[in-house]
Amino acid sequence: MNRTSPAGTPSADTFHVYDTTLRDGAQREGISYSVSDKLAVARTLDSLGVGFIEGGWPGALPKDTEFFQRAADGELELRHSVLTAFGATRRPGVSVREDAQVAALLDSRAPVVTLVAKSDRRHIERALRTEVEENCAMVADTVRHLVEHGRRVFLDAEHFFDGYAHDSDTALRVLEAAVHAGADLVCLCDTNGGQLPTGLAHTVEEVVERTGFRVGIHCQDDTGCAVANTLAAVQAGATHVQCTANGYGERAGNADLFAVIGNLETKLDIPVLPEGNLGELSRVSHALAEVANLAPDTHQAYVGTSTFAHKAGLHASAIKVDPELYNHIEPERVGNGMRVLVTEMAGRASLELKAAELGLDLSGSPEAVTGAVQRVKELEAHGWSFEGADASLELLLRRELALAEQRARGTEDGVAPRDSFGAPFELESYRVSLDHRPDGQVVSEVTVKLHVRGERVIATAEGNGPVNALDAALRTALVPRLPWLDEVELVDYKVRILTDTSGTDAVTRVLVESRDEHREWTTVGVHGNIVEASWYALRDAFAHKAIRRSEVAEASLPKGG
Amino acid sequence: MNRTSPAGTPSADTFHVYDTTLRDGAQREGISYSVSDKLAVARTLDSLGVGFIEGGWPGALPKDTEFFQRAADGELELRHSVLTAFGATRRPGVSVREDAQVAALLDSRAPVVTLVAKSDRRHIERALRTEVEENCAMVADTVRHLVEHGRRVFLDAEHFFDGYAHDSDTALRVLEAAVHAGADLVCLCDTNGGQLPTGLAHTVEEVVERTGFRVGIHCQDDTGCAVANTLAAVQAGATHVQCTANGYGERAGNADLFAVIGNLETKLDIPVLPEGNLGELSRVSHALAEVANLAPDTHQAYVGTSTFAHKAGLHASAIKVDPELYNHIEPERVGNGMRVLVTEMAGRASLELKAAELGLDLSGSPEAVTGAVQRVKELEAHGWSFEGADASLELLLRRELALAEQRARGTEDGVAPRDSFGAPFELESYRVSLDHRPDGQVVSEVTVKLHVRGERVIATAEGNGPVNALDAALRTALVPRLPWLDEVELVDYKVRILTDTSGTDAVTRVLVESRDEHREWTTVGVHGNIVEASWYALRDAFAHKAIRRSEVAEASLPKGG
C-alpha cells in the first residue's frame, strides 16, 4: 500500500487515468454501494489497470472510513492501481492540525489524497462564506500538512470553468496555492457540467500556458459532452483524466471511463492500460454495472452489447465482405463483438478464452464449444446472463465437455442434466410457508426433500425470508452427510427483475456470491418465481464447491497412485 | 403539404434542425414503430417545432410507403415542420426515369427528399462495385430529376469523414455533383461514428472553405461524442443538424436531438425552436420514449428526471441559498425541474425543498420538519431509501404534518401509525404457500385477511411468484369494496438486497412503481423478508392512490358547500 505511482500501466506516471466511481459514481441516483461492493469495484478496476482508484471520503461517510480501513488491513491487494482518498481542505479559521476531517484522511492510510477546493469566487463568498485569502490558506495549509506526512496530493478545483470565466485571477490563485504547497497537479473540474469542448479546451490551454502546472480534467455530463470535453482537455494539454465507470455520477453523470479509455487508446494513440488489457473493457464495464445493480447500457460507446450490432440488411452483406468498412474499430480490441456475422464466431472465441481463464481446455473439443455457445444463447434468450456468474458458466462448460467426451467414447454413461450437473444431491421437492401473523410477526419456514448418495432426506428450517430459510433447510439436510458444505458461506445475494424478456411476464434473475477459505465464486438462477431462481443459484453454488473440492482431492493424490 | 421551408421556427430556413428518428432511430435494436406510431412521433416532433421530419424510406419499406401515403392524405397536419422522404440515388447503369425506388420518392409526395450517396471511394468500389464517375452521375441524375419535379433535395454524404481522409478529391466530387445538379445542401455523415470533435470540426471547416456549399452534419455515437461532434460542426460552419429523439439509432445511436437543441439554444445562443417551445423539451423526450416503448433515460442531458437532482447534503443547503451556483441552466427552461434527493446526508433544507416539490407546505410547521428528518434518518439506518420513492416519502411527511397539527390542537384524535397511514384498509394477516413439486412444477398461493370499512375479508389468489400472488390476493379482497383500486397498475418492481446494514442480517429493499390514468408513483418497503418488504411497498402504493383520490374529490366539491 506504499506505492504512489501506478505500476504496470504503459505510461506509468506520465498520463493518469483516475477513476472516481466509488465517490462520484456513488452519487448517482439509485446506487448504494456496501463496503463489500466497494472492495469488489476496486478489485475489478485494478484488474483493468486504471492508474488511480479513488475510494471515497474517509471521515465524512462511515462506509468510506471502513472501506479504507479494510483495504489497508489487507482486504485489497492492488496490482496496478494506487488507492486515493478524497477529502476537503481544513475548515475556515481552524488549524489544519485540529481539523478532524483532515486527520481522517491521514488515518485512511491512502498514499494519495485528492483535495477538493473552491476556485470560483462566488462559491467562496456565497457558499463557503469566507475570503479568497483564507480559502487559499486553507488549500496551502492542508496540502503542506499532507505532503509533510508523506502523502502525494492532487487538487480538484471545483467549479473551475465558471470561476475562471468570472474571475480568472482568483481561480489561478487557488491553483497556485496548491502547487506551491506541494500538490502534484491541479484537476480542473466542470462541476455543474455546463461546458462544451471548444470553450473548455480553450480554457485548459490558457491555464497550462499561464501556469505551467500539470493539469487534470474532471467533467460532468450535463450537456451530453463529458467524454468529448475530457478528450478536448487532453488535446489541450491535460495529462490526468478523472472518470467513472459507465459514467455513473450525480445528475446526468460523469465522463464514462470506458469511452474515454477507448478513445484515448484507439483514436488518440495514448496507451493508458497495461499491455493486452484493452480487451477487458467490455467485461469490466458489465461487471461494474452488475455490482451497482444497474442494467448495462446496451448502446454505450465501445462496450454496449448493441454497439457493434448491425441491423440494416444493407450493411450485413457488405460487412461480410469487409467489416472495416462499417465498424470504426475492430470490436475485439475492446473485448466487444460484432453481432451480425453469426455471433457464433465471436461467441466461440470468447467462450474458449473464458474457459481457459477458468482452467478448462476446450481447444481439443470444438463440439463442446458448439454445444456451449448454443446453450448460452438459449439461456440468454430467457433472461440468463453469465457475465457476472463464472461458476455457473463453468458448470455449463464442464457439462458440455463431459457430453462431448461421452459422444467420443460412443458410450451413454449418463451425464447429469444441466439442472443438476455437479450437484452431489438431487431435489425431490421443497415447500415454503410464510406467515405474517395477526401480531405482526413474520415467519418463514422451508421443508426440502432431497436424495443424497441414495438416501432420502427430509429437513425443515426457518429463516428471515424464504430464500434464507431454503438455504438453511438445504444445509440442515446436507451438512451431516457432506460436512465440507459447511465451509461454503453466502456473502452476497442480488436480485434483478427483468421486465422485457421477449414480451412474456417478468422473470427474476438472482446472483449468489459464495466464499470458502480459499476463494469466492458467483452463480446465477433465472425463473418467474424468485424462490425457484434462488434455488438454481444455490444449487450451482454447492455444485461448484463439490467440483472444485474433488479436483483438489485428485490433485493431492500421490502421482504414482 | 407544399411548404418546403419550416414555418414558425425563429431562424426559418437559415438554420435547420432535421429529425431522423423515423428512419435512423427506428434502426435501434428493440424499436419497431407501427404506422400509427410513426404518425404519433411526427405529430409530437411537430409540436416541439423541429424544422424537418424525415419520415422514412418510401419504396424500400412498406410501412414507410404507407406512412407517407397516409400523411399526404390528410392524417398528418404539420404546423411547424416539413416532411422529408429518405432514399437512394438511382442504381448504377439504370436511367433515373426507370428506377422504381426513385419513382417511389416522388410518389411519397414529400416536398423534400434526402438522398444518400457514397462519398468514400473504397465504398464506391468495394460495396457499390462501380466507378467514381458513375457514382457522381447517379447523384447528379437523381438530384436533377427530383428538382425538375419540384422537390427540394438534400444530399447525405455517407462515410464522408473516412472518405475525405482517404481521398478528398473523390469525396468533394460527389458533393459537387449534387450541388451543381440543384441540391440545396450537402450533409456530411460520420456513418460509422468514429470521429472526435477536433478532427471533425477541422474537416467541416475545410469543406466549407473549399466548396462554399451549405453544409449539414449527421453524427453517430460510437465514440460517445455525437452531440459534441454535432456542435463542433456547427461552430465550424454547418447550418443543418441531423439528430434523433433521445439519440435512438443503430449501434451506439445518433446525436440526441434534445441535447443538441438544449446546447444550441442555451449555450450557443442559436434559437432553433418557435418562441416558448424550449420548455417542451423534457415532455417531448419522455413522450417519444413512450411511443418507442423504451424507459426514458433518467440521466439524459437536459431532459432526464435525474439530471437536475442533487444528492449530496452539502449541495442541498447551498442550493437553498442560490440554485444558480449548482445548476448549469435553470431546469425550467427545458421543462425539467430541480429535485432534491432525500438521503442519509439530508437535512432540514432538503426535506423542505422536497416537500414543496410534492406540493406540501412545511414552512409553518418546523416541528413536522424535525419529526420527518428524524424519521428518515432512523429508517435509512435500517436500509430504507426514499430517493427513488417520492410517494412513500409524501406519506411520511403527511403523517408528520398531521401529528404536528394534532399537537398544536392539543388533541389526541389518533393519527394512524406510520405503517398504515393513508391506507383504506388494515391487514390482519397473510400466508404464502410456495411449492416446488416433485414433477418440477412451481406454484405460489397467498391468502390475505383484511379489514375494510369494518368488514373482515378473506381472499386467496395464485401468482407467478409470492409477490405477484400477494398483489393478486389483495386485489381480490379489495376491488369489490374499493373499485377505484382497479385503476392502479403495477408497472415495475425492483429489488435490492442490502448486506451491510448496520451489521445485522441482510435486508431486502423493494421499490414498486405504480400508474393510473393520470400519473406514476413509486413506493418503497424494507424488511428482512422480501415478501414483507413488498407488502409495505404495495400498501403504500394503494394508500397514495387513496390520498390523492380524496384530494381530487375534495377539490371538486362546490366551494360554497
C-alpha neighbours within 13 Å on the C-beta side of residue A557: 9
Question: Which residues in B lie closer than 8 A to residue A293 (C-beta atoms)?
Answer: 496
Q: Provide mean pLDDT across the span A429-438.
A: 96
* B466 vs B484: CA distance, rounded Å: 24
Per-residue pLDDT of B474-499, as tens digits, reads 999 999 999 999 999 887 787 877 76
Q: Of B79, B38, B42, B81, give the one whose Cα is nearest residue B62.
A: B38
Question: Which residues in A lie closer than 8 A to residue B256 (C-beta atoms)?
Answer: 224
A and B: number of Cβ contacts within 8 A: 311
Which one of B162, B267, B325 makes the best mutation probe of the A interface by having the most chain A beta carbons within 10 Å?
B325
Distance from CA of B252 to the nearest CA of A (A): 4
Reply yes or no on whether the pLDDT at A305 is more than 70. yes
pLDDT bin (cut points 50, 70, 90) of residue B119 is very high
How many Cβ atoms sit within 10 Å of the Cβ of residue B91?
16
Q: Which of B194, B256, B434 sits opposite A328 (nearest CB)?
A: B194
Nearest CA in chain B to A419: B440
Which one of A86, A120, A328 makes the best mutation probe of the B interface by having the most chain B beta carbons within 10 Å?
A328
Reply yes or no on whether the pLDDT at A319 is more than 70. no
Question: Which residues in A lie closer than 8 A to residue B201 (C-beta atoms)?
Answer: 198
Alpha carbon B275 to chain centroid distance? 22
pLDDT bin (cut points 50, 70, 90) of residue B555 is low
Which one of A124, A158, A244, A325 makes the best mutation probe of the B interface by having the most chain B beta carbons within 10 Å?
A325
% of residues, chain A, pLDDT over 90: 63
Q: Which of B126, B298, B508 sits opposite A465 (nearest CB)?
A: B508
Question: Which residues in A lie closer than 8 A to residue B253 (C-beta atoms)?
Answer: 299
Architecture of domain A425-481: 2-Layer Sandwich (3.30)
First vs last Cα of chain B: how many Å apart?
A: 53
Q: What pLDDT shows up at residue A126?
A: 87
Kindly state the helix (H) or strand (E) to which residue B371 belongs, with its residue range: helix B366-381
Per the CB < 8 Å rule, is A32 touching B492? no
Q: State the burial class of residue B129 (Cβ atoms within 10 Å of its Cβ: 0-12, 13-18, 19+).
A: exposed
Per the CB < 8 Å rule, is B231 touching A251? no
Distance from CA of A434 to the nearest CA of B (A): 5
Question: Which residues in A lie closer than 8 A to residue B29 (C-beta atoms)?
Answer: 298-299, 306, 309, 311
Nearest CA in chain B to A313: B27
- Pull the grid cell for residue A308: 457493434
- For residues A108 and A65, the answer to whether their CB atoms sit within 8 Å is yes
Kindly state the helix (H) or strand (E) to which residue B303 belongs, with its residue range: none
Per-residue pLDDT of A224-247, as tens digits, reads 999 999 999 999 999 999 999 999
Per-residue pLDDT of B370-421, as tens digits, reads 888 888 878 877 778 786 788 999 999 999 999 888 888 877 667 777 677 8
- For residues B23 and B67, the answer to whether their CB atoms sit within 8 Å is no
Which one of B23, B222, B300 makes the best mutation probe of the A interface by having the most chain A beta carbons within 10 Å?
B222
Question: Which residues in A lie closer than 8 A to residue B329 (C-beta atoms)?
Answer: 194
Q: Of B246, B233, B170, B238, give the one whose Cα is nearest residue B202.
A: B233
Give the residues across from B436 on adjacent strands.
A430, B442
Cell 460495396 appears where?
B127
* A319 vs A296: CA distance, rounded Å: 26
Q: Provide mean pLDDT across the span B21-42.
A: 87
Reply yes or no on whether the pLDDT at B75 is more than 60. yes
Helices (H), A415-480: 466-478
Question: Which residues in A lie closer than 8 A to residue B159 (C-beta atoms)?
Answer: 325
Top-confidence range, A446-450, B374-378, B463-467: A446-450
Q: In one letter, which amino acid is B392?
A: S
- Pull the grid cell for residue A390: 463464472
- For residues A237 and A213, the answer to whether their CB atoms sit within 8 Å is no
Nearest CA in chain B to A509: B495
Per the CB < 8 Å rule, is B466 touching A492? no
Question: Which residues in A lie closer than 8 A to residue B326 (C-beta atoms)?
Answer: 191-192
Q: Provide mean pLDDT across the span A246-273.
A: 97
Per the CB < 8 Å rule, is A434 touching B329? no
Q: What pLDDT shows up at residue A10?
A: 62
Per the CB < 8 Å rule, is B250 touching A312? yes
- For residues B208 and A211, the answer to whether their CB atoms sit within 8 Å is no
Among A171-185, B229-243, B360-374, the minimum mean pLDDT is found in B360-374
pLDDT bin (cut points 50, 70, 90) of residue A561 is very low
pLDDT bin (cut points 50, 70, 90) of residue B10 is low
Per-residue pLDDT of B276-291, as tens digits, reads 999 999 989 988 987 7
Among A50-54, A445-449, B338-342, the minimum mean pLDDT is found in B338-342
% of residues, chain B, pLDDT over 70: 90
Q: Of B118, B251, B241, B257, give the one whose Cα is nearest residue B192.
A: B251
Residue A397: partners with Cβ closer than 8 Å, 6 or more residues away: A351, A354, A355, A358, A360, A362, A368, A372
Cell 438416501 appears where?
A455
Q: What pLDDT shows up at residue A337?
A: 79
- Check residues B60 and B232 and name the one with the higher pLDDT: B232
pLDDT bin (cut points 50, 70, 90) of residue A559 is very low
- For residues B461 and B469, the answer to whether their CB atoms sit within 8 Å is yes
Per the CB < 8 Å rule, is B222 touching A300? no
Quote the Cα angle for A495-A500-A506, to 5°.
50
Distances (CA, A) of A166 to A122, A160, A202, B268, B356: 9, 10, 15, 18, 32
Q: Of A418, A412, A380, A384, give the one whose Cα is nearest residue A398.
A: A418
Question: Which residues in B lie closer than 8 A to residue A28 (C-beta atoms)?
Answer: 299, 306
DSSP codes, A239-296: -EEEEBGGG--STT-B-BHHHHHHHHHHTS----S-TTGGGGHHHHHHHHHHHHT---
Q: What pLDDT shows up at residue B66?
A: 93
Distance from CA of A141 to the nearest CA of B (A): 22
Q: Which of A256, A327, A464 sits opposite B529 (nearest CB)?
A: A464
Per the CB < 8 Å rule, is A306 touching B29? yes
Per the CB < 8 Å rule, is B267 touching A194? yes
Distance from CA of A2 to the nearest CA of B (A): 29
* B250 vs B25: CA distance, rounded Å: 7
Q: Provide mean pLDDT across the span A499-528.
A: 77
Nearest CA in chain B to A305: B251
Q: Of A532, A248, A535, A36, give the one whose Cα is nearest residue B497.
A: A36
Per the CB < 8 Å rule, is A263 touching B388? no
Per the CB < 8 Å rule, is A29 touching B388? yes
Per the CB < 8 Å rule, is B465 touching A529? yes
Q: What pLDDT shows up at residue A346?
A: 41
pLDDT bin (cut points 50, 70, 90) of residue B559 is very low
- Check residues B362 and B417 and name the one with the higher pLDDT: B362
Reply yes or no on whether the pLDDT at B28 is more than 90. no
Where in chain B do CATH 3.30.160 domains reside?
425-481
- For residues B41 and B72, the answer to whether their CB atoms sit within 8 Å is no
Per the CB < 8 Å rule, is A228 touching B444? no
* A167 vs B492: CA distance, rounded Å: 48
* A31 vs A422: CA distance, rounded Å: 35
Per the CB < 8 Å rule, is B429 touching A442? no
DSSP label at residue B417 = P
- Check residues A38 and A557 and name the one with the higher pLDDT: A38
Per the CB < 8 Å rule, is B436 touching A431? yes
Q: If DSSP codes are grouped into helix, strand and coil, which group holds residue B160? A: helix
Residue A262: partners with Cβ closer than 8 Å, 6 or more residues away: A278, A281, A301, A302, A303, A329, A334, B223
Question: Which residues in B lie closer than 8 A to residue A528 (C-beta atoms)?
Answer: 464-465
Q: Of A182, A190, A105, give the one whose Cα is nearest residue A144.
A: A182
DSSP codes, B166-216: H-HHHHHHHHHHHHHTT-SEEEEEETT----HHHHHHHHHHHHHHH---EE
Per-residue pLDDT of A478-509, as tens digits, reads 999 999 999 998 877 878 777 643 333 578 88
* A12 vs A135: CA distance, rounded Å: 33
Distance from CA of A482 to the nearest CA of B (A): 23
C-alpha neighbours within 13 Å on the C-beta side of residue A333: 17
Q: Provide mean pLDDT across the span A150-161.
A: 97
- Pull the grid cell for residue B50: 423541429
Per the CB < 8 Å rule, is A32 touching B496? yes
Reply yes or no on whether the pLDDT at B97 is more than 90. yes
Q: What pLDDT shows up at residue A214?
A: 97
Q: Which of A252, A298, A493 sits opposite B304 (nearest CB)?
A: A252
Q: What pLDDT shows up at residue A1?
A: 41
Residue A366: partners with Cβ closer than 8 Å, 6 or more residues away: none
| Rg from Cα positions in chain A | 27
Reply yes or no on whether the pLDDT at B356 is more than 90. no
Average pLDDT in chain A: 88
Among A410-424, B155-169, B516-530, the minimum mean pLDDT is found in A410-424
Per the CB < 8 Å rule, is A530 touching B466? yes
Per-residue pLDDT of B512-551, as tens digits, reads 888 888 888 889 999 989 999 999 999 999 999 999 887 7
Question: Which residues in A lie closer than 8 A to residue B197 (C-beta atoms)?
Answer: 197-198, 228, 231-232
Residue A475: partners with Cβ closer than 8 Å, 6 or more residues away: A461, A485, A486
Q: What pLDDT shows up at residue A316?
A: 47
Checking ipTM against 0.85, whether it exceeds it is: no
Distance from CA of A112 to the nearest CA of B (A): 23
Among A413-422, B75-84, B344-353, the minimum mean pLDDT is found in B344-353
Q: Which of A251, A435, A465 sits opposite B309 (nearest CB)?
A: A251
Per-residue pLDDT of B195-215, as tens digits, reads 999 999 999 999 999 999 999
Q: What pLDDT shows up at residue B503?
A: 33
Per-residue pLDDT of B169-185, as tens digits, reads 999 999 999 999 999 99
- Check residues A477 and A351 and name the one with the higher pLDDT: A477
Reply yes or no on whether the pLDDT at A342 is more than 60. no
Distances (CA, A) of A351 to A354, A392, A524, B228, B497: 5, 13, 17, 37, 30
Give the homologous superfamily in CATH for domain B12-103+186-292.
Aldolase class I (3.20.20.70)
Reply yes or no on whether the pLDDT at B91 is more than 70. yes
Per the CB < 8 Å rule, is B224 touching A223? no
Per-residue pLDDT of A66-91, as tens digits, reads 999 999 999 999 999 999 999 999 99
Per-residue pLDDT of A91-114, as tens digits, reads 999 999 999 999 999 999 999 999
Where in chain A do CATH 3.20.20.70 domains reside?
12-103+186-292
Q: What pLDDT shows up at residue B560?
A: 40
Q: Of B523, B499, B528, give the one whose Cα is nearest residue B511.
A: B523
